[in-house]
Amino acid sequence: MQYFSYPPPRPRPWGYLLAAVAGAVIGLLLFVQLCPAFVAGRLLPYLPASPQTPPSTDGQPPPVLEIPTSAVVYAAERVLPTVVGIINSVQVRDRLWGRVYEERMIGSGVIIRPDGYILTNEHVVSDLRGESRLTVILEDGREVPATLVGADQRTDLAIIRVNLTGLPAAELGDSETLRVGELAVAIGNPAGLDFPRSVTAGVISGLDRIIRHEAAVFRLIQTDAAINQGNSGGPLVNALGQVIGINTLKFAATGFEGMGFAIPINQAAAIAEELIRHGRVIRAWMGVTIAEADEALRRYNVKLDRGVLLIHVWASSPASRAGLQVGDILLALDGKAISSYVDLRLVLDRKRVGDKLEVRYRRGNQESTVSLVLEEMPETPE
């Protein structure tokens, strides 16, 4: 019979490690049980606080704490009572059959004064003619007749009024302090009144987006909060529930999503004040018509390396009295280079009647600077 001798097994380090960890855990648990006061004093300041139920002081069950409201809910609840639906109805007669039927334009608006003044888009209340009428639908469901106070096509803003007082009015924010990326909440009546006071949320996607439409130049807020037909005239709101813009249009094209635009509330509030006071916007007027570089070369055979071409100077206008002439090259206004109609409008839209304007221009090879005083734009310049 043969015997075999095997060497004794070598100790493995990980066995000692597991034993040490187990011992430490057991020791820590015993220490916590035996010395709870010491543990609480040393560790609790570093632990995240948890909501505590307030103790009962009158023998009644303690009140239940509410879950904190989200920013979107807070903003919506603050402004929703001020959002209205607007119905622009007009009676139309069929020329062929003589039948009369009703056309309706549905939009949104926001109450800005307790005495019934409502801010909305001009295109919501446009084409008021003949048997047309305006109806406002309040949050409580009441349908109230409204009258047009004033409208301005250049800014797509209008003021209407209902004969009521004590209405909830929205708080207006400051659109000059907006930052790209902050919360934006849009409220309105998309697809008409089938989905009233719908709330959509997103962010401020861009600022000072320049869009030109005919003679109007818009400086708009861009947002990805959904804005659809029927949202026009409704408010764009920040996280504090303050109105920061008036929803006005959506960029609709294949391949593009989430591109809605709103008129900054600082601009809208100034226009609203003009409409309430005068029923129209009193604009500063210089009295010139211009051609940009492409048009100047194509139609007038004038090649421009900078500036715009004056193709008409209105008689008895500030520009005429300052000595400007057809054929002059307008280079700058108040030191800001002018190379397009948009540049011109952005300068003039910030001016008021009576303001001085410094004009830099070129005539032939000579550059000169003149100062003129802006006047009120006439309805039909002569």
* Residue 66 included in any domain: no
Q: Which of residues 98 and 292 earns the better pLDDT score?
A: 292
Highest mean pLDDT among 36-45, 269-278, 340-349: 269-278
Give pLDDT, residue 27: 67
Residues 297 and 352 in one domain: yes
53-104 pLDDT tens trace: 555 556 666 665 555 568 889 888 999 999 999 988 877 666 667 676 667 7
Give pLDDT, residue 7: 47
Give pLDDT, residue 369: 93
Is 123 catalytic? The answer is yes
Confidence of residue 25 (pLDDT cuts 50, 70, 90): low
Burial class (CB in 10 A: 0-12, 13-18, 19+), 289: middle
Residues 190 and 271 in one domain: yes
Q: How far apart are CA 368 and CA 260, in angstroms?
A: 43
* Residue 311 included in any domain: yes
Instruction: Give percent of the chain above pLDDT 70.
Output: 73
Q: What is the CATH number of the domain that holds 289?
A: 2.30.42.10
Confidence of residue 286 (pLDDT cuts 50, 70, 90): very high
Is 140 catalytic? The answer is no
CB 171 within 8 A of CB 44: no
User: Which of 175, 205, 232, 317 is an active site residue?
Assistant: 232
What's the average model confidence in pLDDT over 289-300? 91
Which residues 6+ apart lie within 8 Å of 30 measured at CB?
none
- Which residues span the domain enclosing 157? 78-162
Residues 320 and 268 in one domain: no
* Residue 98 included in any domain: yes
Q: Which of residues 343 and 253 earns the better pLDDT score?
A: 343
Residues 90 and 137 in one domain: yes
* Residue 17 included in any domain: no
- State the Rg of the chain over Cα: 34
Give pLDDT, residue 46: 44
Question: Which one of 261, 278, 295 terminates a domain?
Answer: 278
Residues 181 and 272 in one domain: yes
Residues 258 and 198 in one domain: yes
Q: How far apart are CA 209 and CA 325, in angstroms?
A: 33
Q: How far apart are CA 281 and CA 350, in angstroms?
A: 13
Q: How far apart are CA 103 and CA 108, in angstroms?
A: 17
Give pLDDT, residue 22: 65
CB 367 within 8 A of CB 359: no
Least confident of 35-44, 222-231, 259-268, 317-326: 35-44
Residues 297 and 245 in one domain: no
Is 305 catalytic? The answer is no
Q: How far apart are CA 203 and CA 262, in angstroms?
A: 12
Query: Position 29: which residue type?
Result: L
User: Which of 123, 152, 175, 328 is an active site residue?
Assistant: 123
Residues 330 and 289 in one domain: yes
* Residue 318 included in any domain: yes
pLDDT at 18 over 80: no
Nearest to 234 by CA among 106, 135, 129, 342: 106
As for how many domains the chain has, the answer is: 3
CB 175 within 8 A of CB 221: yes
Residues 261 and 300 in one domain: no
CB 167 within 8 A of CB 116: yes
User: Which of 156, 224, 328, 343 is an active site residue?
Assistant: 156
* Residue 349 included in any domain: yes
Nearest to 85 by CA among 292, 253, 231: 231
* Residue 55 included in any domain: no
Residues 225 and 319 in one domain: no
Confidence of residue 5 (pLDDT cuts 50, 70, 90): very low
What's the average model confidence in pLDDT over 11-40? 60
Residues 265 and 311 in one domain: no
Question: Which one of 278, 303, 334 terminates a domain?
Answer: 278
* Residue 47 included in any domain: no
Question: Which one of 141, 162, 183 terminates a domain?
Answer: 162
Q: What is the CATH number of the domain that holds 231?
A: 2.40.10.10
> CA dist 121 to 111, 127, 315, 325, 334, Å?
13, 13, 34, 38, 31
Written as six digits, the tokens of 296 are 């100047």
Residues 179 and 255 in one domain: yes
